[in-house]
Chain A
Amino acid sequence: KAGVTQTPRYLIKTRGQQVTLSCSPISGHRSVSWYQQTPGQGLQFLFEYFSETQRNKGNFPGRFSGRQFSNSRSEMNVSTLELGDSALYLCASSLGQAARFQETQYFGPGTRLLVL
């Protein structure tokens, strides 16, 4: 079974631009979560989508948004990029069933975003 895929793998943008990152979950997984990883803040939860609906959200400004499609693929958008948005963005998928505290999230390879 194919793992979680993320595109693009690397991205360079300038301040003020916007960016869209894509994530394809493991087949059969309906939950997709996004994380931001920086050296200073570590891994921080952005949001989770399940059945095309945002089910959970972290403490990030409204410039960070996402969506999920009917095939469970998800996109994350960051508008008006700031230098501090430079990070590794990781997507993770899981089945999304009940007793979710037991569910393992499987991560993709990440997208490295550099904002100049």
Chain B
Amino acid sequence: AQKITQTQPGMFVQEKEAVTLDCTYDTSDQSYGLFWYKQPSSGEMIFLIYQGSYDEQNATEGRYSLNFQKARKSANLVISASQLGDSAMYFCAMREGAGSNYKLTFGKGTLLTVNP
């Protein structure tokens, strides 16, 4: 079974609108971290936001927020006020606890296109 599932291969959003990118995860660990990365066409993976399994509040970083629903095992990324520069691949990733050697596991990604 996939550890990280991103069901939206591609998403389109109008500039200045908000968009939600979906991510569900599968783990039996109690301790884990969830991460979102952005990968522009240049290839570099840019860290956006982190949510820990014990965090009670949803993480926010500027225009990025993470909608964390632990019982449903989902960690959706919300980008507010989209900008043209937000067009990129977005990856959800999970780092599990000691039993999995803290390996970072990625989803397949969602290609976001922001239209003017």
Assess A101 versus B95: contact at CB under 8 Å? Given A42-B106, A42-B108, A56-B102.
yes
Assess A45 versus B44: contact at CB under 8 Å? Given A101-B31, A102-B33, A104-B35.
no
Q: B37, B52, B53 — which one has the most chain A CB atoms within 10 A of its CB? A: B37
Contact A102 B35 (CB under 8 A): no
Write out the residue numbers on chain B whose beta carbons fall within 8 Å of the beta carbon of A55.
101
Ranked nearest first, the 9 interchain pairs of A and B with the lowest CB-CB distance are A107-B45, A43-B106, A100-B102, A109-B44, A110-B43, A56-B101, A101-B33, A101-B95, A101-B97
A interface residues (Cβ-Cβ under 8 A, vs B): 33, 42-43, 45, 48, 55-56, 58, 88, 90, 92, 99-110, 112
B interface residues (Cβ-Cβ under 8 A, vs A): 29, 31-33, 35, 37, 42-47, 50, 52-53, 91, 95-97, 101-109
